[in-house]
A and B are shown apart, each in its own frame.
Chain A
Amino acid sequence: DSGVTQTPKHLITATGQRVTLRCSPRSGDLSVYWYQQSLDQGLQFLIQYYNGEERAKGNILERFSAQQFPDLHSELNLSSLELGDSALYFCASSVGTGGDQPQHFGDGTRLSIL
């Protein structure tokens, strides 16, 4: 058990809808990262928050947004969903932000768009 909790485990919804994925980091970790994993693209970094502030952005679509709350949990919001958004979404956390801070992953949310 990595200590990173993600809910829900599965989400099934339709095109055009909006969903929210939730992540609770490991106790003591201030950084939260969001990744998307698909069969053809592998693990793709979306966005990072550190202690409530956005720290880095990757290949995140404008339809997607995230935030980190004062209790350090994070939410990833996906809107105007398209079939191509079907994927596994992972959250990871680390103590800090540098390369000497290994990231620990949750078990992901599987999103299926019908």
Chain B
Amino acid sequence: QKEVEQDPGPLSVPEGAIVSLNCTYSNSAFQYFMWYRQYSRKGPELLMYTYSSGNKEDGRFTAQVDKSSKYISLFIRDSQPSDSATYLCAMYRSGYSTLTFGKGTMLLVSP
């Protein structure tokens, strides 16, 4: 079993839809959770960063962490074609300084 699981997609939605992207993880030692967005031929760009269980909102983006279920989500409201990218979840394990990434979900938002 991989430490971090993420559906590769692609996930296709119409413009204006609410998008839900998810990751599950197996190691309860993970404490810090991040979402990165990666456009084609570009490096991952940090979108959201959370530590505790609960929700964190930033504009159209909401990150949700449920440590009891080992499940994290990223919601995108009013999705735009410019949101079309691959979204990677990442997390830190306590005592380590390195990130463990999911393989990414490709999102396609059509006009």
Contact = CB atoms under 8 A, between A and B. Distances in A.
Q: Do A and B bind each other?
A: yes
A11 interface: no
B98 interface: yes
Interface stretch (B19-27, B45-53, B55-63, B65-73): B45-53
Interface string B74-111: 00000000000000100011101111111110000000
A90 B97 contact: no
A90 B44 contact: yes
A100 B34 CA distance: 11
A45 B4 CA distance: 14
Contacts of A2: 43, 45
A86 interface: no
B43 A99 contact: no
A56 B97 contact: yes
A107 B42 contact: yes
Contacts of B92: 99
Contacts of A98: 97
Given A31-B97, A99-B31, A43 B88 contact: yes
Contacts of A33: 98-99
B68 to A, nearest CB: 19
Interface string A81-106: 00000000010100001111111111
A89 to B, nearest CB: 11
A43 B46 CA distance: 14
A45 B104 CA distance: 15
Contacts of A100: 32, 51
Interface of B: 31-32, 34, 36, 41-46, 49, 51, 88, 92-94, 96-104
11 contacts: A31-B97, A43-B44, A43-B101, A45-B98, A45-B99, A45-B100, A90-B43, A99-B32, A100-B51, A101-B97, A106-B43
